[in-house]
Structure formats: C-alpha cells, structure tokens
Chain A
Amino acid sequence: MNSLVYIAFQDNDNARYIVEAIAQDNPHAEIQHQPAMIRVQAPGRLEIHRATVEEKLGRAWDVQEMLIDVITLGGNVEEEDDSFVLHWN
C-alpha cells in the first residue's frame, strides 16, 4: 500500500514558498520542476503545515489560499485549519 500521493502547483512566487515548506516537512517527498508547474509526490503521505508555510512566506496564511495555486492533486484529503494532508486510505 505505497502508491504515490501528489500535488502540483503553478510555478509562481507564492507556490515556491509552499513547495519549500513541503520539502522541509516531508524529507521523503520528490519535487519535480516542470515547465510552469511544480509537482510534489511522495509514497503514502504528504503533509502541508500552516506554521511552516507562514514561516517561509513571512505572513499569515490560510490553508485554503493554497488552492489558488494548485493545479491538481491525488490522494485522500484531510484538511484542517493548521494542516493539509494527502494520503491513501
């Protein structure tokens, strides 16, 4: 049960910080820079934490704000005020 979960962002100034935060919180994640898109994938589970993203962005950040920059994602979503988790049930 180790299929990949993934999330892809538009390659913009906002998303680069989010990807940086994901890379820090998920050392097992693989980050692919594609033309105009950044795809992050990991076996089993990916966690995005509000605190880490805020630290990288340098401002208050709402988890839902992320969806503006998201192109696609795969996995079961568990969304809280402080985190956004992708995993397969």
Chain B
Amino acid sequence: MSIEIKTTTVEPIRHTFSHTRRRFGDKPASRYQEASFDIESATNFHYRPLWQPDKLLNDASRTAVVMADWGAISDPRQFYYGAYVQARAKMQENAEHDFAFCEKRNLLAGLSPVQREQIARLLLPLRHAELGANMNNSGIAADGFGTSLTQMHMFTAMDRLATAQYLSRIGLMLEDDGLALLATAKQQWLEDPAWQGMRRYVEDSLVVRDWFELTLAQNLVSDGLVYPLLFQAFDEHLSANGAGQVGMLTEFMRLWFAESQRWVDALVKTVAAESAANRELIEGWIAHWRPRAVQALAPLADIGPGADALASIDNDFAARVKKLGLAGGAQ
C-alpha cells in the first residue's frame, strides 16, 4: 500500500492590514511595518486641543521642516515595541552581569582618590542631563508626527532613564555612602562652574518649541559630542591610567550610543534630502547648537580626557554631519 501525501495551498485573501497594503503593497508585511506606519489618527478629529487650539491633536505643522509624507521616516533598527524590548532586555542582562561582577570582586576598590573624584565629578552629575534628555524625547514623542518617528523618540526617552539609573548605580558603588555622593553630584550639577554650560544647554533645550530642532539639539548634537567625550574618550583616559574596570560599568552607554546614532542619522538624512528648505533649516539649527555644545563641554574635557580629545571629537562630528550631506556650521 502506498500513501500519497498531497499538499493543498490556500491563497490568503489578505496578506496584511489595508493601511499597510496601501503603503507597502499587497504582500506579507513585517511586524515592524504593521506596527509603525499609518497607525496614528490623522483626520476627523472632533476637537482641537485646548492647550493649542490652532493645531490638531496630531498635527504635522508643529515643526518648521516639511515632509510630504512623514511615513518616509523609518528606523534602520526596525524597532517596534516587541523588537525594542527584546534588544534592551538582552543589553540589560549583560549590564547587570557586569555590575554584579564588579561588585562581587570589589573592582572599584583599587581606584586612586584622584580617579574616584574624577569619575564622581564627570559621570554622576550627567544623570541630571540624562533626565533632561528623557523629557526632551518624551516631548518629541508627543509633538512629532507619524508613529515610525514618535516611537523612536519614546524608546530613546526610556533608554535615557536607563542610562541615568546606571550612572546613579556607579555613584552608589563608588563610595560606602553613595547617597551622599549623589547628593553632592546634584550640587555640582547646580553650582559647579564646570557643569553650568551643560546645564544651561539642557535647560535651554527643554523650552525649544520646534520638535525637530529639539531632536537635532538633543539627539544629534548634544549626544553626538557628550557620549564620545564622557563614555569613549574619558573611558580611554581611565584605561590608560589603570582604571579600565570602570569601562565595564559604562559599556551599556557605548553600545547604546553606537546603536542609537543609526536612527538619528537616518532621520536627519531623510528629512534633509526632502527639500532644500529643510536642509537649510537643519544646517542653521546645527550651526546654532554645535558651538554651544562644544563650549559647554570644554570645562568638562579639562577635568578628564583633555581639550585635545574634545577637539578631535568635534572633528569627527563635523565629518559625520558632512556624511549626512549637510554643511553643519563648521567653526
């Protein structure tokens, strides 16, 4: 007796949701596409927001840059909620492992008093700047248009809380009375002359109304200079002086920075390529914020990695902006 196995193929009537089909065509769509594009309400709002009656609840005109279709923005990492959470869970697991190892072996005990002071003064007050970055990105997620764009900012907002928490934990591990150290860090953020430029930059950015300008000031310019300075150059500086173990505790920030710059670059590139008017606006904003950031970071560079490191980071930043097809306001 022979058995014949037959397969019957049933053509699905619909491959994906209608809104996804309209954008990407009638074929099986990825979860990212289904969860990120043309999701937000765009028409037929009953009421205008009481707090801004000249705009709709979701309104593309809250920024001066104009896109024919904000759905053109996409995340090179293809993060929707599920993919994002999985990626971060993995990173967190590694970071927790590093912190636990550092604590178990008491690796920070070998730091010299000078290094201890340097780390406390350079890294701990930064947690307040990270909270500012969280607020900025949450604000952009509220004001921006298009889910593919707003979700990237919301994810980033959450990431900034993580960074702030890891910085706080470094403070708690650094001294027996870590809480007092964090209180000192807050005073440094408020009063230390070296931090006032940075605090001013953050506080000025908190009141920027144009959300696209804000994402440039925060995610492109500020992060693009602060992270290489405090998490790369400063880390190299510590390693060269025999304190490489601190790098275990800041690895999360380096990995996060390398990853998140990809979406920032993709966003800026897409919006700048849309029109000459957009490019001009973006170049103007970068030219406005970049010298301010460099100036704000100068006293911090002097405490740790040095002015040369900052100059070379600024050069790299110029190269990055140029690669995005922008003039970027070289000084």
Contact = CB atoms under 8 A, between A and B. Distances in A.
Interface string A51-71: 000000111000000000000
Interface stretch (A10-18, A72-80, A81-89): A10-18
Interface in B167-196: none
Contacts of B76: 58
Nearest to A17: B30
B52 interface: no
A72 B28 CA distance: 21
For chain B, which range describes its interface: under 10, 10 to 19, 20 to 34, or 35 or more residues? 10 to 19
B78 A35 contact: no
B9 A13 contact: no
Contact of A16 (B9, B10, B30, B79): B30
Nearest to B11: A33
Contacts of B78: 57-59
B75 A58 contact: yes
B77 interface: yes
A53 to B, nearest CB: 13
Contacts of A58: 75-79
Contacts of B79: 58
A23 B155 CA distance: 31
B48 interface: no
A59 B76 CA distance: 8
A59 B77 contact: yes
Contact of A13 (B10, B31, B77, B87): B31
Interface of A is mostly: mixed
Interface string B1-38: 00000010110000000000000000010110000000
A35 B9 contact: yes
Contacts of B75: 58
Contact of A11 (B7, B9, B28): B28
Contacts of A16: 28, 30
A19 B79 CA distance: 19
B30 A34 contact: no
Nearest to B15: A33
Interface in B250-293: none
Nearest to A19: B28
Interface string A24-42: 0000000001110000000
Among A33, A34, A58, A59, find the residue whose CB has the most chain B CB atoms closer than 10 A: A58
B7 A13 contact: no
A7 B312 CA distance: 49
Nearest to A14: B30
B31 A34 contact: no
A35 B10 contact: yes
A19 to B, nearest CB: 9
A34 B9 contact: yes
A23 B217 CA distance: 40
Interface in B48-101: 75-79, 87
14 contacts: A11-B28, A13-B30, A13-B31, A16-B30, A33-B28, A34-B9, A35-B9, A35-B10, A58-B75, A58-B76, A58-B77, A58-B78, A58-B79, A59-B78
Given A34-B9, A35-B9, A35-B10, 4 more contacts: A13-B30, A13-B31, A58-B75, A59-B87
